[in-house]
Homo-oligomer: A and B are copies of this chain.
Amino acid sequence: MSDHQQVIAFQGERGAYSEAAAVIHFGDAIQPLPCVTFEAVFESVESGSANQGIIPVENSLAGSIHRNYDLLLRHDLTIVGEVQTRIAHTLIAMPGVTMDDISRVYSHPQALAQCERSLTTLLPDAERVPAYDTAGSVKMLREGNVQDGAAIASRRAADIYEMTILRDHMEDDAENYTRFLVLGSEADISTEQAKTSIVFSTRNIPGALFKCLAVFALRDIDLTKIESRPLQGKRWEYLFYIDFAGSTRETRCHSALNHLQELTTFFRVLGSYPRGV
């Protein structure tokens, strides 16, 4: 840890789940830089106004955040870390507000959906109001001094806005995890327990993807994720994003990637980084 506070960019208001993930990764002594959009997170790191950024890429229930896969391609940053964290939703209100006062519950639509059964039990008559984000809903309650509403957000959001937690573990499914990636401008290739993320496209010929996966299988390299996205300008052709266990510094991984480049029309390493736990 250095004497200077690292500025870490994330999407959402103070208290967002991304901020909580940043604290897990960097510790408490960060200077948070809330951004309105995911694009602004990338731009903050590129311009140097943040040292690093953190973005969600995948939720274990809802799947990939495809927008961030597209942005990884469009921007020239490097993945330098990974955080996997359990999403525990809390029901938050202004101090003094009780369950009986609540006629509306605000949050991001996905968070409302993930608490649907809990909300039906606790607050069957409360209206669900979709909002821009989770922590932003808490901020809105605080700024508006709202006495008949509650929000679904992180415990951290309740702390930051000095609000009351009416109920924790509102999430219906405890197996609710989100993977975040840490973005930097300089590669920091680790070798211990590393993971590598790449993106490539192939010629549109039978067996092309099979051959690409063979370069890993033939070297016993374990793929942990594959995601496809449309290749702009080529109808029904795709970019493939792959994560695998290993670092580009390892000979077998290095050889696999050289082999892969014989088969691809586009190829880029997005980063090698310590595996998040």
Contact = CB atoms under 8 A, between A and B. Distances in A.
Interface residues of A, number: 36
Contact of A220 (B58, B207, B235): B207
A26 to B, nearest CB: 23
Contacts of A233: 175
Given A66-B63, A226-B228, A210 B206 contact: no
Given A226-B228, A227-B228, A228-B226, A60 B210 contact: no
**Which one of A179, A210, A226 has the greatest number of beta carbons of chain B within 10 Å?**
A210
Contacts of A186: none
Interface string A48-77: 000000000011111110100000000000
A135 to B, nearest CB: 22
A7 interface: no
A274 to B, nearest CB: 17
Given A63-B66, A66-B63, A235-B177, A213 B224 contact: no
Nearest to A227: B228
A40 interface: no
Contacts of A206: 217, 220-223
A29 to B, nearest CB: 30
Interface in A146-195: 175, 177, 179
A217 B207 contact: yes
Given A217-B207, A235-B175, A229 B63 contact: yes
A187 B165 CA distance: 52
A233 B229 CA distance: 25
Nearest to A213: B210
